[in-house]
């Protein structure tokens, strides 16, 4: 069993220093409740709605942003997953990083870009299997729109993921509500895994976000969920509690 936390975050726009300070505050809150991992939203460090400013804020995976996140993890003992604009190979990716402050950070690049806004800013990555070990469990990462393609989740589940972490920036509207409240629990159920879907909240001048972050269990239940406003969630991830669900819903085995 491990405990994870999620920050449904109201960003300070493209003020990376302020956003990193907010993440640090949440990491310390996670430390207080006994969590070993904090998940934050898509592009939470640079803000999703920053437009062209995001390109100016893009950094390599060994740059100051990731180094600061690693420092936060090292100081609190809470590993951090955060979204940032990654500059690499003469291009910019919509990326998320996992860092525990000790080992080499794991970086995932978004493969399915949503709409002209994202396509004008970022390069899509080839769909990949980004896995890392945390406290004896195997974690995978996707970003927002990626999770809406069942193939992406299934690929990680077949590769052995126990939990998939999904930083997201889903906008307000019927679709955003449906994805969080219906689709994510189904993705967890049909793969018999845990999914932490962690959204932005409020607005950043360009977009208003749906909130409704959720940590879903293999049986499709919500271990924790949020409304529209900024929120801090914590849930215990205990795979042994869902042995019955896995024995009854043998999708991966029966493929």
User: Which positions are catalytic?
Assistant: 42, 110, 144
* Residue in this structure with the two tokens 């879903």, named with its chain if needed: 216
Q: Does residue 82 contact residue 23 with C-beta atoms inside 8 Å?
A: yes
| Nearest-angstrom CA–CA distance, 15 and 50 | 9
| Nearest-angstrom CA–CA distance, 32 and 38 | 12
167: closest CA among 137, 139, 206, 190? 139
Structure tokens at 216: 């879903």
Residues 6+ apart with CB under 8 A from 62: none
Q: Give the DSSP per-residue string, 168-206.
A: E-PBSSHHHHHIIIIIHHHHHHHHT-EEEEEEB-SB-SS
């Amino acid at each position: 069993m491990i405990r994870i936390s999620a920050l449904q975050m109201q960003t300070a726009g493209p003020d990376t220093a302020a956003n990193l300070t907010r993440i640090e505050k949440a990491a310390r809150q996670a430390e207080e409740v006994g969590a070993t991992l904090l998940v934050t939203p898509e592009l939470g460090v640079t803000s999703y709605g920053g437009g062209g400013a995001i390109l100016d804020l893009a950094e390599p995976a060994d740059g100051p942003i990731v180094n600061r996140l690693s420092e936060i993890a090292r100081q609190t003992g809470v590993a951090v997953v955060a979204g940032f604009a990654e500059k690499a190979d003469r291009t910019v990716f919509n990326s998320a990083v996992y860092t525990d402050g000790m080992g080499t950070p794991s970086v995932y690049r978004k493969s399915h870009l949503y709409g002209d806004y994202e396509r004008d800013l970022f390069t899509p990555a080839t769909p990949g299997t980004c896995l890392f070990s945390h406290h004896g469990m195997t974690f995978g990462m996707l970003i927002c729109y990626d999770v809406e393609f069942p193939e992406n989740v299934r690929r990680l589940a077949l590769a052995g993921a126990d939990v998939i972490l999904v930083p997201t920036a889903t906008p307000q509207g019927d679709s955003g509500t449906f994805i969080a409240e219906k689709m994510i629990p189904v993705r967890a159920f049909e793969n018999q895994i845990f999914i932490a879907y962690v959204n932005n909240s409020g607005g950043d001048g360009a977009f208003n976000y749906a909130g409704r972050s959720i940590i879903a269990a293999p049986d499709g239940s919500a271990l924790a969920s949020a409304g529209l406003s900024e929120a801090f969630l914590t849930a215990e991830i205990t795979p042994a509690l869902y042995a019955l669900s896995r024995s009854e819903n043998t999708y991966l085995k029966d493929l």
